[in-house]
Amino acid sequence: MAICDNDEGATFQIEELIESTYEKHGVEMEIDVYYSGEKLAEAISQGKMYDIIYLDIQMGGLDGLAVGKYIRKMELDSIIVYISEYIEYIESIFEVEAFEFIRKPISNEKFMLTLKRALNRLDRKQYFFDCKYKNYWIRIPIKDIVYFESSGRKINIHLKDNKMEIFNGKLDNVEIKLSNSPSLFLRIHKSYLINLSYIRAISGKKARLINELVLPISDDRKDNVRKQYVKCLGEDISERDN
């Protein structure tokens, strides 16, 4: 999670509330705190990704609305919760598909309720892959995804019923997004990210899927792919270069 607010008192309160929730369940949570919009935007530009982001709006310099727009421009689907004393911004936050608006001074009860809802959404997201193409949001059960294919600036999602969905994005971001999903995905090539459940066999530098489609495994990924595949199957795979 990330907190971005130039008010140290507010960041301390938010951090305490989050930590108290996780301590009750014996779970540690990594929380990064930023005191300016510029610092958060810089971290995101360098590859930082957060499930939930708490954002103030008026911070001086880059405001929270601009940061929210940048997050969406980077095609990240982080849950954004705005926390501000300025209620006149409520309508504006929906431009970045914000999850909630909490008015300052922060009500502990309101904050905890919002956190619970956000965590419930995260749990649901674990089982679905959500993406946006043009003006439409698409929700796909992860278990139905055979593989992702990068094609220029677009990504093709190949499904088990032989249908295909398309969205704009980067395969690197998809790989990170799916790192905690119930299904394991293997990056076998710069252009392919495959659901392990649909791999029938790995032979040399080829992955054969259950629909008999064969996809290439790149040289730099071959060893790791085989290692992960063997680990999941619990058995060795004979080396055969075809």
Range of the domain at 68: 2-125
For 188-213, give one letter per residue: b (16+ CB within 10 A) or e.
Answer: bbebbbbbeebbeebbebbbebeeee
- 97 and 16 together in one domain: yes
Q: Which of 125, 150, 175 is a domain's end point?
A: 125
pLDDT at 49: 83
- 169 and 63 together in one domain: no
Q: Which of 101, 125, 149 is a domain's end point?
A: 125
The CB density around residue 11, as the number of other CB atoms within 10 Å, is: 20
At 99-110, the pLDDT tens digits run 999 999 999 999
- 12 and 121 together in one domain: yes
What CATH number does residue 158 fall under? Answer: 2.40.50.1020
- 55 and 137 together in one domain: no
Across 212-217, average pLDDT: 94
Across 43-71, average pLDDT: 92
Residue 241 has pLDDT above 50, yes or no: no
Rounded Cα distance, 214 and 203, in Å: 10
Q: What is the phi/psi pair of residue 178, to 5°? A: -95, 5
What CATH number does residue 49 fall under? Answer: 3.40.50.2300
pLDDT at 79: 93
Q: What is the phi/psi pair of residue 62, to 5°? A: -70, 115
Residue 239 falls within a domain, yes or no? no
At 156-200, the pLDDT tens digits run 999 999 999 999 999 999 998 888 776 789 999 999 999 988 888
Residue 241 falls within a domain, yes or no? no
Report whether 53 contacts 69 (CB < 8 A): no
pLDDT at 74: 83
Rounded Cα distance, 93 and 65, in Å: 7
- 88 and 46 together in one domain: yes
At 132-156, the pLDDT tens digits run 888 778 888 888 999 999 999 999 9
At 2-42, the pLDDT tens digits run 999 999 999 999 999 999 888 776 556 789 999 999 999 99
pLDDT at 170: 92
